Amino acid sequence: MEMASSPRTVEEIFKDYSARRAGVVRALTNDVDEFYGLCDPEKENLCLYGHPNDTWEVNLPAEEVPPELPEPALGINFARDGMDRKDWLSLVAVHSDSWLISVAFYFGARLNRHDRKRLFSLINELPTVYEVVTERKPIKEKPSSDSGSKSRGSIKRSSDGGQVVKSNPKLTEEVYEDDEDEHTETLCGSCGGSYSADEFWIGCDICERWFHGKCVKITPAKAESIKQYKCPSCNMKRSRQ
């Protein structure tokens, strides 16, 4: 589409990613009414594109197969009138995050292992489009002289005012704590097992420890309705008082 010359270095790819992301974020925030109006469900499969010049566009997918670049999610307009507007924008944001990563790693596929890791680290420093759109954006602060757990707790509370965080707790620490020495492995407060990305985890808002959802009998659906989660041991302490 608009690839004059492909970005090749980590810095060039990250610059491309940042610009595309900025365009998408603008479509879903400042220009949201215009974006909403363009996504008419009566039209064909539409996509939201972010371009390397910080602009955005709603358009039909590329005709060539395979396309020059990975394509954004098709048909975002079809769900527009069947969902709550806020939920629909959140859904588009999640798909946009996925697309932005896929474009960055399309360009970065030829990078070596070290550079790919550095690229992902740079990307991970920015809030996701989803976090910006849903206002779950963590506050980026340098940790104070306290331990790293304090900084993890503040991230958790900034995520929707004290609600449960269902993201990877270990990744969250790595992104928002600048001190490398504070990167300790996250273990389940119940069974002691290590964090695994394919399992649902939940954080206690009182003691700030993390738990496998299955260990404390909390499902992702149940977690949605919990305003402040207290782990079994914190609940026990409260009942003894």
One DSSP character per residue, 160-222 reads TTT----S-HHHHHHHH---GGG-PPPB-TTT-PBP-TTS-EEE-TTT--EEETTTTT--HHH
Q: Are residues 211 and 101 in the same domain?
A: no
Q: Are residues 60 and 125 in the same domain?
A: yes
Instruction: Please give the pLDDT value at position 191.
Output: 85
CATH number at residue 230: 3.30.40.10
34, part of any domain = yes
Q: Which of 91, 109, 134 is the last residue of a domain?
A: 134
The answer to whether the Cα torsion of 36, 41, 43, 48 is positive or negative is: positive
User: How far apart are alpha carbons 140 and 177 in whole angstroms?
Assistant: 9
Mean pLDDT of all residues belonging to the chain: 80
| Bond prior to 66 in cis (omega within 30° of 0) | yes
**pLDDT classification of 34: cutoffs 50, 70, 90:** very high
In which domain, by residue range, is 18 found?
A: 10-134
Q: Which of 102, 119, 134 is the last residue of a domain?
A: 134
159, part of any domain = no
Place of tokens 């993390």: 210
149, part of any domain = no
Instruction: Please give the pLDDT value at position 93.
Output: 97
The answer to whether the Cα torsion of 112, 71, 79, 51 is positive or negative is: positive
56, part of any domain = yes
- Collapsing DSSP to helix, strand or coil, 12 comes out as helix
List all residues 6 or more positions away from 235 whose beta carbon is below 8 Å from its beta carbon.
none
- Write the DSSP symbol of residue 72: P
User: What six digits make up the tokens of 105?
Assistant: 């790693």
Cβ–Cβ < 8 Å for 182, 192: no
Q: What are phi and psi of 75, to 5 degrees?
A: 70, 30
Q: Are residues 85 and 200 in the same domain?
A: no
Q: Which of 90, 119, 134 is the last residue of a domain?
A: 134
Cβ–Cβ < 8 Å for 3, 68: yes
Q: Are residues 44 and 124 in the same domain?
A: yes
142, part of any domain = no
196, part of any domain = yes
104, part of any domain = yes
Burial class (CB in 10 A: 0-12, 13-18, 19+), 79: middle
Q: When comparing pLDDT for 39 and 241, which is higher?
A: 39
Whether 206 shows a pLDDT value over 60: the answer reads yes
Give me the number of domains the chain comprises. Answer: 2
Q: Are residues 130 and 16 in the same domain?
A: yes
Q: Are residues 99 and 206 in the same domain?
A: no
Instruction: Please give the pLDDT value at position 78.
Output: 94
Q: Are residues 99 and 210 in the same domain?
A: no
Instruction: Please give the pLDDT value at position 81.
Output: 94
Q: Are residues 99 and 39 in the same domain?
A: yes
Q: Are residues 21 and 119 in the same domain?
A: yes
Whether 69 shows a pLDDT value over 70: the answer reads yes
Q: Are residues 190 and 129 in the same domain?
A: no
191, part of any domain = yes
Q: Are residues 19 and 114 in the same domain?
A: yes
Give residue 203's region: left, alpha or beta (phi > 0; psi -120 to 50): beta
Encode pLDDT of 182-200 as tens digits: 445 678 888 888 777 778 8
**pLDDT classification of 160: cutoffs 50, 70, 90:** very low
Q: Are residues 129 and 205 in the same domain?
A: no
